[in-house]
Structure 1
Amino acid sequence: MTELLGADVLGLELWQVLLVLAAGFWAGTINSIIGSGTLVTFPVLVSVGLPPVTAQVSNAMGLIASGFSGTWGYRRELAASRHLLPPLALASFLGAVIGASLLTRLPPSVFGYAAPALLVFALTVVVLQPRIQAWVRRRSAEGGAVPGADSPVPVGPVSPTLWTLVFLTGIYGGYFVAAQGVMLMAIFGVLFVGGTLVHANAVKTALALIVNLTAAVYYLVFAFDRIDWRAVVLIAASSLVGGSVGARIGRRISPIALRVTIVAVGLAGLVVMLLRLRGVG
């Protein structure tokens, strides 16, 4: 059994391939339920030996597959929000370009030091996600005082504050990806006027996909040598499957269990990155 798990597949040991596939499937599932799948795949890629920047680039490209299925599933809500999408999509696009540029142009050592801090930040956002969601729901229920807040569909125009915050989230997403969806939902809880939480979630899903796609194109043009295509293919295939069955799995699995899994895997990846910084292992 040990020899079988140590067999070479795509230049990786079989156990590493299976681990990346499992992480991709789990990330696709998580993304379709609560988001933050990157906090599973990124640490796993680091743990199997990929440098942090390569892991981040390859992970962002691989998870695009699950983003498409999620966006397609929200097509009706997106149609109702179509007047908001162009300005917000532009904000996400411009932010993603800057974030991806920072990732690929700064020395890898900068990301090596920044990644642990960003990972801790993203894990904190995930832990606080239930409170964020509860707050968003309360504001949605109490938002009658805001003109247009009681509209059954989103209303415009996009305020400069909303545009700026989405732009800044795009920079974060283009650089690190993890938990950008949770951050967008927190922003929409304050500034997204009208519609329902489903509309806000639909726009969030579309904007996250735009950020990931923009970053992926940037990587293809300016950082092709940092892409590990083995990781991209493995995560894309497994996350696509995970995303398609995530809703069914989500009906049976406690959100708390999912959140615990994210935090546990994220902490394991954090330990690996900290040990690398200290020159251990």
Structure 2
Amino acid sequence: MDGWIGPLLAAAGFLGGIVNAVAGGATLITFPAMLAAGLPPVIANASNAVAIFPGHFIAALADREKLPSFDTRLLLLCSATALGGLTGAALLLILPARLFVLPVPGLIAFATLLFAFAPRIQAWAQRSARPGAHRRTFRSTAVLAAASVYGGFFGAGLGVVLTAVLAITEPNDIRAVKVLKNLLATCVTATAMVVFITKGMVAWRETLVMLAGALAGGYAGGRLIRVLSPAFVRWLIIVSGSVMAGVYAQRYWWPA
């Protein structure tokens, strides 16, 4: 790594850890940092997934009071999302690298829009919840599995999709939704990681530097969440994501 790459990755991980603790959306910061470090896009994506993986699990454990019971429904949801993550990672592995590069600007733009409209999506999901919507239906499981395929393939914005779907099945308890979302995101990323690590797709030096920063940022974010405005963080992420989408559109779609 060049002299400036280490501090860049550590700083991106640290900021991403804070962002995940306060508002979510760290991938919009950490993935571009991996690209800026000179990693090929597919390797950058796999390395980024490993670097930010602990954040999902730690976030779920942070609210132990709302951890769901280990029952048939939880096993079904974890299995479906794990299978979806595995499928997405395998798809990333099978496709030629150039077919991943081409949609990268669009994926970043999509994730940014999803993040920007997350409150409205979640509010709509809760309004749409009907009595009995909490029943364990194969429809909601199938939607979660489909979202998990995207999560295993790229991942940015996955939390918003999972939260929106779960808000229909868990109306009136946003804390329970957030905890279950983090558990399912852990399942998605864990199975994707198995593929990435087994196939040697992880740049370990860059990953470990970012991981250290992300852990420190997650701890700092847990403290900052008491004083830092989530609205400010949200707008910072939206602006950053928009800029990054434009930068990578110019790089991959309209190169000089």
TM superposition score normalised by structure 1: 0.84
Tell me how far apart the structure 2 counterparts of residues 161 and 30 of structure 1 sit (CA, whole Å).
31
Cα pair 2:126 2:171 within 8 Å, conserved: no
3-state DSSP of counterpart to 2:39: coil
Task: State the Cα distance separating 1:271 from its structure 2 match.
Answer: 3.3
Tell me how far apart the structure 2 counterparts of residues 81 and 188 of structure 1 sit (CA, whole Å).
17
Task: State the Cα distance separating 1:29 from its structure 2 match.
Answer: 1.6
Match of 1:135 in 2: 124
The ranges of structure 1 where at least 4 consecutive aligned residues each deviate by more than 6 angstroms after the TM superposition are: none
Alignment equivalent of 2:198, drawn from 221, 230, 233: 221
Matched, 1:211 2:201: no
Matched, 1:164 2:142: yes
Paired letter, 1:232: T
Match of 1:114 in 2: 103
Alpha carbon RMSD of aligned pairs, Å?
A: 2.0
Task: State the Cα distance separating 1:276 from its structure 2 match.
Answer: 2.7
Alignment of 1:1-281 (within 5 A): 11-14=1-4, 16-80=5-69, 82-136=71-125, 138=127, 146-147=131-132, 156=135, 158-190=136-168, 192-193=169-170, 196-222=173-199, 224=200, 226-277=201-252, 278-280=254-256
Rg bigger for which structure?
1
Task: State the Cα distance separating 1:207 from its structure 2 match.
Answer: 0.5
Paired letter, 2:193: A
TM superposition score normalised by structure 2: 0.91
Task: State the Cα distance separating 1:114 from its structure 2 match.
Answer: 1.3
Long gaps (5+) in structure 1? 1-10, 150-154
Match of 1:152 in 2: none
Q: In terms of mean alpha carbon deviation, does 265-274 or 210-219 score higher?
A: 265-274
Tell me how far apart the structure 1 counterparts of residues 96 and 57 of structure 2 sit (CA, whole Å).
31
Cα pair 2:51 2:210 within 8 Å, conserved: yes
CA deviation vs aligned residue, 1:232-251 (integer Å, no higher than 9, x gap): 10121111121223232122
Report the count of equivalent residues. 255
Paired letter, 1:94: L
Using a 3 Å threshold, how does the CA distance of structure 1 residues 35 and 82 change in structure 2: closer, same or farther?
A: farther
CA deviation vs aligned residue, 1:51-78 (integer Å, no higher than 9, x gap): 2111111000000122231122133312
Task: State the Cα distance separating 1:231 from its structure 2 match.
Answer: 2.0
Tell me how far apart the structure 1 counterparts of residues 71 and 210 of structure 2 sit (CA, whole Å).
30
Task: State the Cα distance separating 1:194 from its structure 2 match.
Answer: 5.6
Paired letter, 2:165: I
Task: State the Cα distance separating 1:195 from its structure 2 match.
Answer: 6.2
Task: State the Cα distance separating 1:82 from its structure 2 match.
Answer: 4.5
Paired letter, 1:203: L
Identity %: 32
Paired letter, 1:269: M
Using a 3 Å threshold, how does the CA distance of structure 1 residues 264 and 51 change in structure 2: closer, same or farther?
A: farther
Long gaps (5+) in structure 2? none
Using a 3 Å threshold, how does the CA distance of structure 1 residues 113 and 268 change in structure 2: closer, same or farther?
A: same
